[in-house]
Structure 1
Amino acid sequence: MKFSSSLRFNAVSEWWEEYIAYDALKKYIYQLEKQQHDLGRSSHDLEANERETLIQQATRTATDSVFVPLLDRELKKIVFFYESQEKELLDAVTNLEELVKDQEEAGLAAEHQYLVEGEEDDDDDDDDDEPASPSLSREESGPPKRRRRRSSATPHYVTGNTIPEERPIRHRYSISSSDDSAADLEASVASIRQAPIIHGATLPRAGSSSKSPLGKARSIANKLNFMRDSSISQNDENIWTAKTDFAWDIRILFKRRITALYIQLTSLKSYVEINYSGFRKILKKYDKVTYSELKNHYLHEVVEDALPFRRSSKDKVNDGIQRLQTLYAKCITHEDKALARQQLKLHQREHIAWERDTVWRQMIGRERRGEGDGDIKAIGATLVTEEDGSLLHVATPVGHFNLTRKKIFLVFAIAVFVILLEMPMLDEVEANRCFAILIFSTIMWATEAIPLFVTSLLVPLLLVVLRVIRSQDGDTRLSSQDATKFIFSVMFSPTIMLLIGGFTIASALSKTNIDRVLITRVLSLAGTRPNSVLLAFMAVSCFASMWISNVAAPTLCFTLIRPILRTLPPKSSFGPALIIAIALAANIGGQSSPISSPQNLIALQAMEPPLDWGSWFAVALPVSAISIVIIWLLLLASYRPARSPDGEGDIEIKTIRPTKDPFTLKQYWVSFVCLGTIALWCVEHTIQEYVGDMGIIAIIPIIAFFSTGVLKKDDFEQFAWTIVFLAMGGIALGKGVTNSGLLETMDTVIRRLLDGFSLYTVVLILSPVVLVISTFISHTIASVLLVPIAKEVGSNLPGNHANLLIFITGLICSTGMGMPVSGFPNQTAATQEDELGQLYLSNMDFFKNGVPASIIATLVVVTVGFLLMKAIGL
């Protein structure tokens, strides 16, 4: 969670304006960064060392002189608020201690006097109210005064952290003249004592309602209490241990006041800690962005010397908290201080949970509603254009109905599915039903009428229910029980374990910050020339996609380029060029290693025998490198990113500064395990008799990282499980196509179409088909649909080139990047905005650059890739 979100989440809502203005300070930092970069760009005629000296001087003078007063203003605001709060709360603690002392001195004697007064005042309703107990108010510390008026006030019995309005509680304990028997009295009192205390409820006092059964029982209980208390010695009990209603009410009142004050003091302590973190974070960002060294000086010599952050101030607050714990132990827990601390902390947690569950949830709810639909007041059918894609809104007697594109596609897919099931297009029932499932799944995946992984889960359901699976010999139709065992056994395959192992490695590299450390160090060598910076980012995006997936890699790169984008001249073409370059390179990186994308794993799953990592790298790395260089040249010709917007000279790019933090022991451990696992994957064929499959090797990083605490249970839960189930559904569909006899039928048709063509001709025919399909639907889904076809075509060619065609299909699936929706990197790039909220890229950018890049990458695969595959024996 970013600190700005953490600050809002942990702040006391009533004090929000008194916290450090973190977001505003961060905006000032970015403005100073731009001014600093403009100063450096204006001095491009100077020598390099002179320019560096000038920038450093500007950092120490201009930026510091602007930013330090802003920090001073925030610090002054925090000091003033803390000073007033500290005095008010500590004075309240002292006052509460005196009230407790006065209540102890008054003791139980007040109860009997108020019982007598209550009887005398029954008929006097005209006098003013007076406090019931002198010990509850500092203004009334003398002897108890007679109450002239019967009070209707009732105490509130509460649990949790609800703090009702504090006011003196009126007590009147009347003795009824009823002739209830002793047994009736005991039963009534038992019902009162055993009744649950209801959160926020108000129990009626004696005499408050003579018609209420609970009020009558309360009156009987008061009567019994008075009879019992008259025989108890005052030396045996005090106000904090007595079991009378009067003592109970007094303890409840003090419990509320102590708890409320405890929550305020702990909130003040948290206020100091959060603001200190805010100063530390904002100074760290300032030093990083402006290359300054202000943090240590300002934090240690200015912030820590201010009143809220001194050791003496923290000791005062802690002392106040301990005094409240002592009071709570005396008044509530019978001097059990450990129990007092436990209960007060419980109240504090309940209060925090309540704050977050109301204030934070309401804030999120407002934001969500702001993004959502406007009110629709039309009657009947109205055409609307909403963000949810609604085409038609219909008001019916039973409610509103929105017709969306996804609902239309869903109905269409179901209709096609039903028609294909009933239409005997193929001779065999199993093959015909499997064909219906294949077409239905393809439509659902292509249109995303429902989430992709849900469609994947539909596949095994339909395969079993429709009894599509046949035995290995193809003669008998498997029962539902046998088909279920077979489908589930193939769904969780070694390939799935390899995918989870890849997620584990990516998560460990990201959590230990190794990816950012390595990337920033590489980018720091790129210099300030736009062309070289563009190529460096493409290489880094491609390499990162190999190991942390082409989903996370572009996101990380887009974060790293923010300082560059902020300092670019207005309307510079370098920004759009850099963003689309990262997206295209991430797509290319998706083909570079077996674990960089699910389509590669699906291709490996279909290969017989599976390709080892060394052979994959021998083909994929040269293909990826050549593709990156050619696409880079394409972008240079298309955008001319080095030219300044005014046409006068070239722009200069802000240098990425590498992190100065040294490698930790944890980072060395993660690097060792990752490199060792990759090495074992590369030589898996030579150690196959020991490990069996690459999926077993994938267990090594899972055990190594989760057992040593590098990754936690939450990290495991955040894995991209939707992708796992998507791949599992694809594997199940592939097995269904094979075992239903559908693949044999397709093989006959395909063999007839490709009869007489050479291997390379088949490659040239298959490649554009794969490219078009992967451009318009998910790369993973394209591999699910096309890998089985490539396998069948290749197995029927002379020499059995199934693995070669599968390999080419898997690589080309990653090159479909001609549209904004073609793969996650393109989708992420299409949403990047500048400081004014304008998108960097348009659909025309993808059409002019993404489509040629896709064609270039495909041609590299079918030329260089094909030759390399033949060289390794495919």
Structure 2
Amino acid sequence: MGQGRVVEEPFEMNVTKFLQKKYKLILAFTIPLTLSPILVFFNDSEPAKCTYVLLLMAFYWVFLPIPVCITGLIPLVMFPVMGIVSMEDVCKTFMTESVILLISAIIVSSAVERYNLHRRLALRTLLFAGSEPKRLLLSLMITAAFLSMWIMNMAVYAMLFPIVQVLVEELENKLARTTGMVNSAYEQELHKNGKVTRDENALEMSAVIEENCTGMDEQQQKTSHPGDVTRNDTKGPSRLMMCFNLGLVQALIIGGVGTLVGTFLPLVLVQNLETYYGPSAKPNFGEWMVYAIPTQIVCLALAWTWLSTFFLDLGQSILLCFSGRSNCLKKKQTVEGDIVAVLRKQYDELGAIKWSEVVVIFIFVVLIVMWLFEDPQFVTGWRSWFKPGFVKSSTFTVAVTILCFIIPNKRPSLPRCTHDIEKFEPLLDWQYVVSRVPWDIVFFAGGGVSLTVGIKESGLDLLVADKLDFLNSWDPWIVLLITTAIGALLTEFLSGPVYVGLILPIVYVTAHMKGIHPYYFAIPITQASNLSFCLPAAHPLNAMLVSFKVVTVPTMAKVGVMLNFLCLIITNISMNTFGWKFFDIDTVPAWAVIDLVNATTTVASVTV
């Protein structure tokens, strides 16, 4: 191994840590004092009290004087003391049915990780794609997006990152031999130090990621490891290196909103709808997938097209193919052997498929089918077999979770009864699950949903909607475009769940005033708030790319701005076309009716 060194962190992460180290106590105490005039001048106003709590939590989430999950506990103290929400009602928001669904799904998906099923799927897909860079990039992005629909994106990233580094190294080595020159600063460093290979370095990076992939406070993750050979000279990372790593991260971000359990933002939306309107307001798993996956596919196709155009000269290749002067087939044959050999070697190291893998595949497929057919629109779902309102998708998910701790990870020899019960090991054990599940999401999610309860009970949502009354004169698509654009912009600097939790109660009232379905605003805003491709501070995966020196910040920004714009347009078009008919936006459901009688009096008294 080479000499160990600490990987430099992006500027945004250094600023956050500097504030935490130097001014942690000052921030923790001065922020509440700075906001205290709100309570002094409006001491009898519940909306003002709720505004104080909202701003306090927002500042704490941004500057992190205390952990983000602990910030989520603030409503448990402030709302009961201020007389906004009772202690019992606030506590109910910290363990909802949606949180149970997410945690259970993460536990089941950890079985997929434990037995390397996601790695087997990824290598098999890449082998099928061949070795042409554009096809390889497309295969990588499809695999990453699909896996991130069911498994935490940090875990998928930790698994795919070493594979990407090996693929890029082989492509660059071939390019160096065929052109007679080294293509990147990484290759120059590799030739200087022949003792360290890229594969070893990639595995070390993967170990660093896996150590920290379960925490919610992701900006505080460690990014140091020994033997880092990704240090660059002034030339920086190669175009291939940046292309494949950006493609990996962008696919993970896009794929996360394909299901309700793929990332944290759909959970925030579901919890907000449940808290604000009641249990009937939540979209079921099948509804979300039928609407979200087509949008996800289009965005993924645009991301691949843009990356291929920016880095791999896709436009030039198309022109050459039409002109008959393309030699892409010859180039493909020259690199096919080594790339496929590397992938085949890694796949063969996994060995033959085992009993535990077969069982996990079966369990996971059954679970997905049950999610999809809970209450589909075209046939009667299995939920109708039970007492109405009692059994939901989370019920079956918890049942599957329990089975993972009962089913053995080795095939029992029942006919001969020779199975040693003392050596029995289930598919999952509690120690492994504890290390994989981000338990602090309970506090983080509960804090965000408590804010929604406080905003509704205090009348702050109606007050803000009254101040924004001019929006009622605008067409709904204009309001949607503005709110989604603000979400896509702010989440480059602010946490997506924070923005979604703050804006949703306001757009619910706006939807009521316009006489349309609340989904019209709520779902696209949630999707747009996940579009964080431009800056390292926008997403932990972006920060890791910069920390590991595989992507430069200017390139990330250039590529991300265009992709943000394209995905934002697709998100709006999707809701105004397919989504309008699918959710019957013109019809306001019975559960979405808001009682404005008492709230109007509150708004009027506060305004005066």
Q: Hey, what does 1:741 align to over in structure 2?
A: 459
| d(CA) in 2 for partners of 1:500, 1:633 | 35
1:633 aligns with 2:305: yes
Q: Specify whether residues 659 and 865 from structure 1 end up closer, same or farther in structure 2 by C-alpha distance, changes over 3 A only.
A: farther
Tell me if 1:552 matches 2:155: yes
Cα–Cα, structure 1 residues 693 and 421, in superposed 2: closer, same or farther, change >3 Å? farther
1:705 aligned to 2:375?
no
- Equivalent residue number for residue 715 of structure 1: 432
State the one-letter code of the partner of 1:593: T
**Matching of residue 868 in structure 1 with residue 578 in structure 2:** yes
1:763 partnered with 2:480: yes
By how many angstroms is 1:753 displaced? Answer: 2.5
Instruction: Give the unaligned 5+ runs of structure 2.
Output: 174-182, 185-237, 274-279, 318-326, 376-380, 408-425, 586-608
Q: Secondary structure at the match of 1:671?
A: helix
Residues 446 and 777 in structure 1, CA contact (< 8 A), matched pair in contact too: yes
Q: Distance in 2 between matches of 1:806 and 1:821?
A: 24
Cα RMSD after superposing both structures: 2.9
Matched residue type, 1:843: V
Larger Rg: 1
1:688 aligns with 2:383: yes
The residue aligned with 1:730 is 448
Q: How far, CA to CA, are the matches of 2:525 and 2:46 in structure 1?
A: 27
Q: CA deviation at 1:407?
A: 5.3
Corresponding residue of 1:37:
none
Measured in 1, the distance between the counterparts of 2:14 and 2:133 equals 40
Is 2:286–2:373's contact at 8 Å kept on the other side of the alignment?
A: yes
How far off is 1:388 after superposition? 8.1
C-alpha separation in 1, matches of 2:44 and 2:490 = 28
1:776 counterpart residue number: 493
Match of 1:808 among 505, 524, 545: 524
Query: Which secondary structure state, in structure 1, belongs to the residue aligned with residue 472 of structure 2?
Result: coil
Do the aligned partners of 1:577 and 1:641 also contact (CA within 8 Å) in 2? no
CA distance in structure 1 between the aligned counterparts of 2:483 and 2:72, rounded to whole angstroms: 25
Q: What is the match of residue 505 of structure 1?
A: 108
Q: Would you tell me which structure has more helix in proportion to its own residues?
A: 2
| Cα distance change on mapping 1:386 and 1:683 into 2, 3 Å | closer
Q: Of the candidates 643, 646, 659, which is equivalent to residue 347 of structure 2?
A: 659
Query: How far did residue 371 of structure 1 move?
Result: 9.5
Residue 71 (structure 2) aligns with: 455
Does 1:581 find its partner at 2:581? no
Tell whether the 8 Å contact from 2:122 to 2:143 is kept in structure 1 after alignment: yes
Structure 1 Cα separation of the partners of residues 37 and 69 of structure 2: 24
State the SS of the aligned residue for 2:283: coil
Cα deviation, residue 505, structure 1: 2.2
Name the amino acid aligned to 1:605. Q
Q: Equivalents in 1 of 2:569, 2:497: separation in Å?
A: 21
Distance in 2, Cα, partners of 1:821 & 1:736: 29
CA shift at 1:581, angstroms?
0.9
How do residues 180-191 of structure 1 correspond to structure 2 at under 5 angstroms? none
Structure 2 letter corresponding to 1:815: L
Offset of residue 409 of structure 1: 4.5
Q: Aligned with 1:814: secondary structure?
A: coil
Separation (CA, whole Å) in 2 of partners of 1:677 and 1:757: 43
Q: Any conservation in 1 of the 2:493–2:537 contact (CA below 8 Å)? A: yes
Structure-2 change in CA distance of 1:715 and 1:788 (3 Å): farther
Structure 1 residue 841 corresponds to structure 2 residue 548: no
Provide the rounded CA distance (Å) in 1 between the counterparts of 2:7 and 2:161.
24
Displacement of 1:502 after TM fit? 1.9
Q: Specify the alignment match of 1:790 in structure 2.
A: 507
Judged with a 3 Å threshold, the aligned counterparts in structure 2 of structure 1 residues 741 and 386 are, in CA distance, closer, same or farther, namely: closer
**Alpha-carbon shift at residue 387 of structure 1 (Å):** 8.7
- 2:299 counterpart of 1:600: no
User: How far apart are residue 408 of structure 1 and its match?
Assistant: 5.6
C-alpha contact (below 8 Å) 1:574/1:641 kept by paired residues: no
Distance in 2 (CA, whole Å) between partners of 1:604 and 1:841 is: 34
Q: What is the CA distance between 1:707 and its match in structure 2?
A: 2.7
Deviations 1:565-614 (A, max 9, x none): 33324314111100011111111012111101111011122335211222
Q: Is residue 672 from structure 1 mapped to residue 390 from structure 2 by the alignment?
A: no
**Paired residue type of 1:735:** V
* Alignment partners' CA distance in 1, 2:364 and 2:14: 46
Deviation at 1:464, TM superposition (A): 2.1
Name the CA distance, whole Å, in 2 between partners of 1:688 and 1:801. 24
Deviations 1:307-337 (A, max 9, x none): xxxxxxxxxxxxxxxxxxxxxxxxxxxxxxx
Which of 71, 75, 94 aligns to 1:491? It is 94
Q: Secondary structure at the match of 1:796?
A: helix
Structure 1 counterpart of 2:52, one-letter code: A
Unaligned runs of 5+ in 1: 1-22, 28-366, 373-384, 392-401, 470-482, 833-838
> Matched residue of 1:450: which SS?
coil
Q: Is contact 1:542–1:589 with CA below 8 Å preserved after alignment?
A: yes
Alpha-carbon deviation of 1:701? 2.3
The question of whether the paired residues in 2 share the 8 Å contact of 1:573 and 1:641 is answered with: no
Structure 1 residues 388 and 583: CA distance shift in structure 2, 3 A:
closer
Taking a change above 3 Å as real, the CA distance of residues 712 and 830 of structure 1, as seen in their structure-2 partners, is same
C-alpha separation in 1, matches of 2:509 and 2:243:
41
2-structure distance, mates of 1:706, 1:589: 29
Q: What is the rounded CA distance, in whole Å, between the counterparts of 1:527 and 1:613 in structure 2?
A: 34
The whole-number CA distance in structure 1 between the counterparts of 2:357 and 2:463 is 53
Checking the alignment, whether the CA contact within 8 Å between 1:587 and 1:815 is kept in structure 2 is yes
- Letter matched to residue 585 of structure 1: A
Judge conservation of contact 2:500–2:529 (CA < 8 Å) in 1: yes
Mapped to 1, the partners of 2:565 and 2:26 lie a distance apart of 33
2:514 aligns to what SS in structure 1? Answer: coil
Percent identity of equivalent pairs: 19
Distance of aligned partners of 1:697 and 1:746 in 2 relative to their CA distance in 1, 3 Å threshold: farther
* Equivalent pairs, count: 462
Q: Deviations over 1:511-544 (max 9, x none)?
A: 1211111111111111111111111111111111
Matched, 1:537 2:140: yes
